[in-house]
Amino acid sequence: MEVKPIAEKDKGMGPLSGVKNIIAVIAGKGGVGKSTVAANLAIALSKTGNKVGILDADIMGPSVPIMFGVEGQQPGVIDREGKTLMVPLENHGVKILSLGFFVQPNQALMWRGSMINKAFNQLMNDSEWGNLDFLVIDMPPGTGDIQLTLAQSYNIRGTVLVTTPQKIATADVRRAAMMYRQDKLTIPLLGLVENMSYFTPEEYPDKKYYIFGKGATDELAKELNIPILGRIPIGEKIVESGDGGTPIILNENDKTGAIFIEIAQKVQDEINKL
């Protein structure tokens, strides 16, 4: 039996009825900068004239509130036709919801898969997203419960794969990619983003040092027959900007912002081909 995702959008009703495109940002393992890519991609899509939301579904490492400078805040609530809906926070032109809003920073999270799925579905369905061109979902790494729930229950327009140049990282993201290539799932892979691709010293802006090697991402892109959407350099400013609640794309003097704008444009181009 083929599983075809069904979204509120397709039913013509509910909080997701105004969401045109749901984009899942996925990775095979943690530590590759998936949330950094998701946050900057969301803002880049907004800066290119779209209405955008981001949902942080990485329950084990919900970092989107920190990256958007809304840590410690709580979403609002409204009542509509007897149903209570969450109202996303908003910053940097993006609507924001995160599982991290409901977990204390010093709290050890011990949730079973069913609990995580329930919380994820509430963020998707019991929230007032309004009209959005894109809803970017920062997925937990790997191929677990939330990934299956998302793939089987919602109309995902496509996925963006995040990796680093090491072969072990591309091997992990290959497994994540193949989950979305199963016969029972019909979700396009839009392309790869290679994070921590190279290092360029400030004093030598034309130099590129491939600290983690090169070539493995190109091999994977060729194997999967998908494009490389962009290559993000290693940079202290990228980390500092995310930790400070102002992702690097907001720094108009940093060249990395232009890379994320290009990635956002390529994502839109790939969607238009579908």
Distance CA 72, CA 57 (A): 17
Domain hosting residue 224, numbered range = 8-273
The total domain count for the chain is 1
pLDDT digits (tens, 9 = 90+) for 7-25: 444 444 466 889 999 999 9
Binned at pLDDT 50, 70 and 90, residue 86 comes out as: very high
Report the pLDDT value the prediction gives residue 14, as an integer from 0 to 100: 60
Question: Residue 237: is its pLDDT beyond 50?
Answer: yes
Please name which of 48, 24, 19, 50 lies closest in space to residue 35, comparing C-alpha atoms.
24
- Whether 40 is in a domain gets the answer yes
Report the pLDDT value the prediction gives residue 150, as an integer from 0 to 100: 77
| Amino acid of residue 72 | G
Half-sphere exposure of 160 (CA within 13 A, CB side): 36
- Whether 2 is in a domain gets the answer no
CATH number at residue 113: 3.40.50.300
Question: Residue 4: is its pLDDT beyond 50?
Answer: no
pLDDT digits (tens, 9 = 90+) for 28-65: 888 899 999 999 999 999 999 999 999 998 877 789 99
- Whether 206 is in a domain gets the answer yes
- Whether 27 is in a domain gets the answer yes
Distance CA 263, CA 162 (A): 12
- Whether 80 is in a domain gets the answer yes
Report the pLDDT value the prediction gives residue 12, as an integer from 0 to 100: 43
Mean residue pLDDT of the chain comes to 87
Binned at pLDDT 50, 70 and 90, residue 223 comes out as: very high
Report the pLDDT value the prediction gives residue 107, as an integer from 0 to 100: 66
> For residue 56, what is the enclosing H or E element?
strand 52-56
- Whether 140 is in a domain gets the answer yes
- Whether 257 is in a domain gets the answer yes
Distance CA 210, CA 196 (A): 9
